[in-house]
Amino acid sequence: MPTTVNGKKEIPFKGVNKYKPKGTKTSPHISSCIDYPEDGNKVVKNLREALKKAGLKDGMTISTHHHLRNGDAVTNQLFDTIKSMGIKGIRWFPSASFPVHKHLIKYLEDGTIHHIEGSMNGPLGRYTSQGKMNGTGVLRSHGGRYQAIQDGEVKIDIAVIAAPTADPFGNATGDRGPSACGLLGFALADSEYAERVIVVTDNLVPFPCIPWQIQGNNVDHVVEVNSLGDSSKIVSGTTQVTKSPDRLLIAEYLAQFVEEAGIMKDGFSFQAGAGGTTLAFAIFLKEKMKKKGIKARFIRGGSTKYLVEMLEEGLTDYILDGQTFDLEGVRSMRENTNHVNTSPFTSYNFHGKGNFASMLDCVVLGATEVDLSFNANVVTHSDGYLLHGIGGWQNCLTSKCTILAIPSFRDRIPVIVDEVTTLVGPGELIDVIVTERGIAINPKRKDLLKIMKKSDLPIKPIEEIYNEVNELCGGKPAKPKINKNKVVAVIKWVDGTLIDSVVEVEE
């Protein structure tokens, strides 16, 4: 791994819970009401004017959020505007990117954007993996992003916050309006720490915007546009319940494991991702809870209609939502006071006084690869291409029982491998692997091995599943052709240290 990334010295990964930071949190410069209108009206005529007033210059760091997911139109419009102003060398600091942001490749090519520090999904990931980006990409978890801002690792010059509803003062919310996307928690740190904050909305309401998820006291300018994008696209192909028999079997195994392991009991808590298998797991778990009369204290979201149903049917006291994955989740957040919007600070920030993630009894996640030491990868595939972000995945590994639900192979390529292509999560934090061909429990979890000893579930050593799948798939896949001398991106651990790097894939 490199010791310097984009001109900045980095600290290498020291092990789980082995690095403790020192110093104080960063802060923006002191503002004064002298510089803002007394009537509270911060509206300017367009994005170009707002960027000009915010002092946009070459080489600045510009942040955006991803709550609109693949329906986001603001980020593309933002960089169209930056390009038209002749600005170069921007460090783009998104909370995540999506295929809709393929539009920005031309700005990476012409130098408008120097590099990306945030997830590089789809086309942007492929572009980066091919060694075409001028700088080095930096991938952080959702909590790691918040940590990087508050610790001063990343200084945001201008934050641009797409807000489905806002008032002229800058108070903003995401739970209502024509482009409602739920909460705006991933923009919270941006609003608090950036030097200049611009709120962009397509639903400008009279002061006050209630409720406000972003406080106007942190906002410099407000811009009204025709549309933020298409909020229906917060639902993507990965947020649909699987119809695959193999994936449904995995989901059934998951629910049975959670029940038999004694995790499912009154007052328990869990988090499941929004992938097809984990959505099916939530459905199976719901039926088991109803049958046994069990109620959860809270469920951590990404919220979906399936979690909303559990809340509305009295199967949980609260949804503590970090990201809204469908429009039913948006409706629920707007209407139900027990559907609570949270941020990466409360949920995931490792440099805080505790967070929600470690309080979870169980979390069910996915992965692109898992190796024989239970190490896991979520950002690249075995072909070496960088095609996913970390999201909250790393942060969730601190739960009391971390379960990875994965198929044993994809497109005849084994998912359980001898060594992961990219290390994103250390195996000591991963407790259980559930595949359609068996369930592997980490040997360090002697308690789970003992509890599940008499289960009729197919509990197997991970090596047995590995050998079975390799035989089925005709052996190990060929390693990708890579340029080991060119690092295209680095992976941060939750404490801000470097845990691995991604190198160029040669065509």
Is residue 281 situated within a structural domain? yes
Least confident range of 26-30, 89-93, 456-460, 473-477: 473-477
CA atoms within 13 A of residue 450's CA, in its CB half-sphere: 4
Residues 331 and 257 in one domain: yes
Please give the helix or strand (H or E) that residue 503 lies within, else none. strand 498-505
Asked if residues 109 and 315 have their Cβ atoms less than 8 Å apart, the reply is no
Count of CB atoms situated within 10 Å of the CB of 412 = 10
Closest Cα to residue 281, out of 241, 311, 320?
A: 241
Residues 242 and 191 in one domain: no
Amino acid at 188: L
What phi, psi does 384 have (nearest 5°)?
90, -10
Give the mean pLDDT of the chain: 95
What phi, psi does 463 have (nearest 5°)?
-65, -35
User: What pLDDT is stored for residue 121 in this prediction?
Assistant: 85
Is residue 17 situated within a structural domain? no
Mean pLDDT for 422-441 is: 98
What phi, psi does 356 have (nearest 5°)?
-65, -30
Q: Where are the alpha helices (DSSP H) in 54-130?
A: 74-84, 105-109, 122-129
Closest Cα to residue 94, out of 148, 47, 51, 45?
A: 148
Is residue 498 situated within a structural domain? no
Which residues are 441's β-sheet partners?
A: 432
Closest Cα to residue 196, out of 382, 52, 387?
A: 52
Residues 6 or more apart whose CB falls under 8 angstroms from that of 471 comprise none
Q: What is the CATH number of the domain that holds 312?
A: 3.40.1080.10
How far is the C-alpha of 427 from the C-alpha of 187, rounded, in Å? 31
State both tokens at 103: 């539009």
pTM for this prediction: 0.95
Is residue 446 situated within a structural domain? yes
Domain count, the chain: 2
Residues 175 and 273 in one domain: no
Residues 190 and 252 in one domain: no
User: What pLDDT is stored for residue 237 in this prediction?
Assistant: 47
Q: How does pLDDT run across 265-275, given as a tens digit for each residue? A: 999 999 987 78
Residues 264 and 318 in one domain: yes
pLDDT higher than threshold 70 for residue 278: yes
The last residue of one of the domains, among 231, 252, 284, is 231
- Band of pLDDT at residue 497, cut at 50, 70 and 90: very high
- Band of pLDDT at residue 252, cut at 50, 70 and 90: very high
Asked if residues 432 and 258 have their Cβ atoms less than 8 Å apart, the reply is no
Asked if residues 434 and 309 have their Cβ atoms less than 8 Å apart, the reply is no
Q: Which residue segment(s) compose the domain that 297 sits in?
A: 237-481
CA atoms within 13 A of residue 430's CA, in its CB half-sphere: 30
Residues 280 and 196 in one domain: no
The pairing of beta strand 482-492 with beta strand 498-505: antiparallel
Is residue 401 situated within a structural domain? yes
How far is the C-alpha of 77 from the C-alpha of 373, rounded, in Å? 45
Higher pLDDT, 430 or 244: 430
Residues 91 and 214 in one domain: yes
Residues 246 and 207 in one domain: no
Strand, coil or helix: what is 196? strand
Mean pLDDT for 447-476 is: 95
pLDDT higher than threshold 80 for residue 236: no
Share of the chain above pLDDT 90, in %: 90
**DSSP class of residue 87?**
-
State both tokens at 346: 């409360």
User: What pLDDT is stored for residue 474 in this prediction?
Assistant: 87
User: What pLDDT is stored for residue 274 in this prediction?
Assistant: 74
Residues 113 and 250 in one domain: no
The last residue of one of the domains, among 204, 231, 258, is 231
Residues 362 and 288 in one domain: yes
The last residue of one of the domains, among 206, 231, 256, is 231
- Band of pLDDT at residue 239, cut at 50, 70 and 90: low
Residues 54 and 109 in one domain: yes
Mean pLDDT for 417-428 is: 96
Mean pLDDT for 433-452 is: 98
State both tokens at 442: 């980490």
Structure-token match 């941020």, residue found: 343
pLDDT higher than threshold 60 for residue 293: yes
Amino acid at 84: S
Which residues are 482's β-sheet partners?
A: 505
Residues 207 and 253 in one domain: no
User: What pLDDT is stored for residue 190 in this prediction?
Assistant: 97
State both tokens at 265: 């009991």
- Band of pLDDT at residue 251, cut at 50, 70 and 90: very high
Asked if residues 187 and 216 have their Cβ atoms less than 8 Å apart, the reply is no
**Three-point CA angle 315, 316, 320, nearest 5°:** 150
Is residue 294 situated within a structural domain? yes
Is residue 450 situated within a structural domain? yes
Is residue 46 situated within a structural domain? yes
- Band of pLDDT at residue 320, cut at 50, 70 and 90: very high
User: What pLDDT is stored for residue 453 in this prediction?
Assistant: 95
